[in-house]
Chains A and B, each alone.
Chain A
Amino acid sequence: MHFSKPKRPIQLMEICGTHTMSIARSGLKSLLPDDVKLISGPGCPVCVTPSSLIDLAYDLAQRPNTLLCSYGDLLRIPGNKYSSLQGLPQVKICLSCMDALTLAKENPSKNVIFLGVGFETTAPGSAIAILEAQRQNIQNFFFLSLLKQTKPAICTLLEQENTLIDGFLCPGHVAAIIGEQGFSFLPNQYHRPGVISGFDPEDILYSIELLIQMLNQDKPAIQNTYGRIVKPQGNQTAQAIIQIVFEPQDSLWRGLGNISKSGLQLKKEYETWDAWKRFNLPPLTNTEPKGCQCASILCGQKEPKQCPLFKTVCKPQTPIGPCMVSSEGACAASYLYESEDLL
């Protein structure tokens, strides 16, 4: 594949963790022109969740008759007070919020709490589970919403001083829900191009070429190379379900701090299933492990190899920060798939 030559050195951000993994796994960076740099953004939901969640969840799991349900990659994140949730018998791996609802039905004497991390992609499935809980009057199922929205985080990144991002590889899965229109703010408000991309290396290569072309012509727009899945208006049914159950709230992001209206909380009429309210939980705080550079890495200001802990004490077996924990984190991808002598 031959790329157009960029008129100046450019930095492109991939926002989605699945893109990060595909780029690393295929060795794609080694094929890019020297003056095109890819940086990994805050698109891994596990990575942007503050580590204080682990302490909060650990304490929650100690309450009597409690089953905590979590996606697998949350389990290895180290907390500040506790090592991690791994190995606790009252913590179960679930692949979706509906699995947690099923577990609640099977264990009527237990309070089943789902740790609801994720973006617009997981929000509709969670909303359906909550509507089902209401329909079936299941009172022992609770949703701990940590859901986040992509747009406020990208805006925060672009409004930071000295922002280094020239264009975006937009997340295909999120776009499947919010549509091409969900990213039109990039050219309209920030004069940045974006390409909605699928996850095969070929999709990503083509999307990068389109970004280079738009930057060379200084004609930023949103293009979609994932048209087989992503429609201009997105999935309007899913959007409607999110709006029925959730409403925007301020949310704390690891690395980016508190961002106004960037999270999703359960609306008042669904508070019966809201774990925050039912268990009277304190808000999360942003405490980073000493020396950990995940915050800067998530903003694209540093690369994993610039962190003093990377590969020295922070490894996939013994992760310090979330970017090493999640298989989609920038540090794990770099550790597992990128060899220094090749790049």
Chain B
Amino acid sequence: MNDILMDHGSGGQLTSDLIDELIVPTFKNQHLTELKDGAILPDPQNKLVFSTDSFVVDPWKFPGGDIGKLAVCGTINDLCMAGGIPKYLSCSLIVEEGFHIDDLKTILHSMQQTAKNADVSIVTGDTKVIERQKGNQIYINTAGIGILQRQTSYQYQENDVIVLSGAMGCHGASIFMAREDIHLQGELLSDCACLKEKAMKAMAYDSLRILRDPTRGGVATTCIELIEKSDFGMELYEALLPVDPNVQTLCDLLGFDPLYLACEGRMLCIMNENDAKQLCEQLKDGAKIIGKITKEHPQKLYLKTKIGATRQLHKLSGQPLPRIC
């Protein structure tokens, strides 16, 4: 393949291929190769966590948030998922000529409010403007530094369980509805949220193995990434998967699978079952145990379906497109 396709940005198989075959080999170093959400850097006093993310969401404003909130939550969440307590962010804006200043103010205010709520400061930044029609309104990159609180790893134990902190797919579904101007009865908001408090609750448990936020590619793709470098397999239980009824309706209508829709404020954690039960009670918001780690079928993810059958789940393939009927 000679050209970048949209699917290279979907968070699925082609994204993995691009990272593994091109980006990591080019920049190869000890901090990069683990490919967690953030790198852990040596520092005389503390271990630092460092992460970056770019945001190109279209439309920039969506039910439940905007690109500013998303850009701050996204990097804060990546730092938390790497076991860090986020402290400082940078903010690089790439704005298309003609973008309204009032809209930019809305976005910056939303960034500041989100950062303040998480006790994080935006301390450096950059602004570039690109010519009219050479971009899509506004793109934001944020990078962030946090202090390492908890070292996590892929060292699972058999019968560890997987906790999901809330209903899956709300962000992906709400963006799709906003983009395609679809209206359904009932309110469907993005789950875009800062995970700092929830992550800190999870980090308090000794049995916590790892934390991840299931963004692009959804819960299924993220779960595969969590086991593909380990010696274990994973099973999810369809009957236990939390899905918002509005998201389910949209999926039924358009042929999407909630397991592959992005979340922007949900956390997956792997830990022992007793701790997981306590954590779910603390987290509330529909946090649930959705599956378990197994020695059978290493590096493969299976779903036990509601009718008692079993099927393998794969990484997201291609962008979800609405089907005809």
Contacts and interface: CB of A to CB of B under 8 A. Distances in A.
A binds B: yes
Interface stretch (A19-27, A137-145, A255-263): A19-27
Given A316-B317, A317-B13, A339-B312, A25 B257 contact: yes
B22 interface: no
Nearest to A27: B309
Nearest to B300: A339
B317 A93 contact: no
A232 B121 CA distance: 66
B325 A342 contact: no
A328 B306 CA distance: 21
Contacts of B311: 24-27, 30, 337-339, 342
Given A31-B308, A31-B309, A122-B324, A95 B255 contact: no
A163 to B, nearest CB: 26
A338 B303 CA distance: 11
B60 to A, nearest CB: 19
B134 interface: no
Nearest to A102: B181
A173 interface: yes
A18 B325 contact: yes
Nearest to A125: B325
Interface in A73-106: 73-76, 86-87, 93, 95
Contact of A76 (B302, B307, B321, B324): B321
A86 B6 contact: yes
Contacts of B182: 95
A201 B255 contact: no
Interface in B276-325: 302-303, 305-312, 314, 317-318, 320-325
- How extensive is the interface on chain B, given as a class? 20 to 34
Contacts of A76: 318, 321
Given A71-B323, A339-B312, A201 B6 contact: no
B14 interface: yes
Given A21-B255, A317-B7, A317-B318, A328 B307 contact: no
A107 to B, nearest CB: 15
Contacts of B180: 93, 95
Interface in A319-343: 326-328, 335-339, 341-342
A118 interface: yes
Given A337-B311, A339-B311, A45 B324 contact: yes
Nearest to B253: A95
Contacts of B310: 27, 30, 342
Interface string B221-265: 000000000000000000000000000000000110100000000
B325 A173 contact: yes
B306 A26 contact: yes
Given A95-B182, A339-B312, A201 B321 contact: no
Contacts of B6: 86-87
A117 interface: yes
Nearest to B320: A327
A205 interface: yes
Contact of A118 (B257, B309, B324): B324
Contact of B325 (A93, A118, A335): A118
Nearest to B308: A31
Given A86-B6, A95-B182, A328 B309 contact: no
Nearest to B17: A317
Interface string A185-203: 0000000000000000110
A114 to B, nearest CB: 12
Contacts of A73: 255, 321-324
B70 to A, nearest CB: 23
Interface string A127-161: 00000000000000000000000000000000000
A224 B307 CA distance: 21
B309 A30 contact: yes
Given A27-B307, A201-B306, A202-B307, A317 B325 contact: no
Contacts of B1: 318
A199 to B, nearest CB: 8
Interface of A: 1, 17-18, 21, 24-31, 45-46, 71-76, 86-87, 93, 95, 117-119, 121-122, 173, 201-202, 205, 315-318, 326-328, 335-339, 341-342
Interface of B: 1, 6-7, 12-14, 180, 182, 254-255, 257, 302-303, 305-312, 314, 317-318, 320-325
Please provide the 5 A-B residue pairs with the shortest distance between their CB atoms, ordered closest to farther.
A27-B309, A72-B321, A339-B312, A316-B317, A72-B322
